[in-house]
Amino acid sequence: MSAGRPEGGARPIGAARPDSGVVQVSGEVIATRRVGAYHHLTIVAPGVAELARPGQFAALAVGGPTTGNLLRRSFSIHKVSPSGTYGGTLDLVIAAKGPGTEWLAALRAHDAVDVVAPLGRPFPLPTEPVATVLVGGGYGSAPLFWLADVLRERGCTVEMVLGAASEDRLFGVVEARRAADGVTVTTDDGSAGHKGWVSDVLPEVFERTGAAVAYACGPMGMLQSVTRVAGEHGAVAQVAVEEAMACGVGVCMTCVMPVRDKEGVTKMVRSCVEGPVFRGDRIRWEAFHDGVCGVPADAVGAPRVGGH
């Protein structure tokens, strides 16, 4: 549905959390293109680019002003541009899987979309130059190219590992070769790069680069394997989790997951506010089964036999 170009272009319509550097804006789509199995949107969103950091995300309203779809859809920010012909923009990569994302994928130039961003905690950056490995699964690789640019500006070496089920579900292979010092590609079916999973090639990458930090974004199973391999090689894994975020601002509690704090105490925390980036070795991976997250018995507030 085309809502037409907003009068005067996109404009702020109020702050979602003014104390936290989050804004809500009426954005305008200025470009869309198909990239393999995904859709790449560029949106004019005043104020977002100046606030955003790699690893944060945006939550978009779907369906237009008369829709019954009350819940937003959240996407990692691929990149931002603070200035340009139309003003500050952000780029998002979308996989059309249901009515909400299909509506977003069908947007065209000059359509309006309501945006809340930037949300969540960004990737923490090294305080000194170190070797790093960036691992992306499918379109989960979207935020890693911006991160790679920032890391290289700080003198870090960057190796990228991109994996997906098949070649059309990879994202950014060409861009990775520009952004990184080295790139390894894997696909489950062998249609591009090495046949297999990213965990099959990661040990060699860590051994060759001596990386001290791994950054990853993608399916939870992949993030767990990145955390394991990084730990085996003495590296810290910082992972951006893919938990369902129905609101994106910490209200609905649908994205809670068990994470150990610095004292080793397990708490159920919100991925959208306390995350989406966590140290991989603090996530209770054993609580996830077939895509469903449970509550460990030793978590603070966990139900007890016979009642709470």
- Can you give the pLDDT at residue 3? 35
Place of tokens 């950056």: 125
- Can you give the pLDDT at residue 7? 36
- Can you give the pLDDT at residue 20? 56
Q: Which residues contact 106 (CB under 8 A, 6 or more apart)?
A: none
Q: Are 89 and 81 in contact (CB under 8 A)?
A: yes
Q: Are 222 and 200 in contact (CB under 8 A)?
A: no
The count of other CB atoms within 10 Å of the CB of residue 152 is 16
- Can you give the pLDDT at residue 304? 78
Q: Which residues contact 194 (CB under 8 A, 6 or more apart)?
A: 184, 185, 186, 187, 200, 201
- Can you give the pLDDT at residue 132? 98
- Can you give the pLDDT at residue 70? 77
CA atoms of 129 and 134, how far apart (whole Å): 15
Question: What are the residue ranges in the chain where pLDDT is below 70?
Answer: 1-20, 66, 68, 84, 306-308
pTM: 0.90
Beta-strand runs (E) in the chain: 11-17, 22-35, 38-44, 57-60, 73-81, 89-94, 112-119, 131-137, 157-164, 182-187, 194-195, 213-217, 236-240, 256-260, 266-270, 277-279, 288-289, 292-293
Nearest to 134 by CA among 168, 171, 94, 92: 171
Average pLDDT value for the chain? 90
Largest CA distance in the chain: 63
Cα separations (Å) of 77 from 81, 177, 208, 212? Answer: 11, 20, 30, 25
- Can you give the pLDDT at residue 268? 96
Q: Which residues contact 192 (CB under 8 A, 6 or more apart)?
A: 166, 167, 170, 173, 185
Angle (nearest 5°) at CA 212 between 133 and 155: 75
Tokens of 285: 């991976």
Q: Are 56 and 116 in contact (CB under 8 A)?
A: no
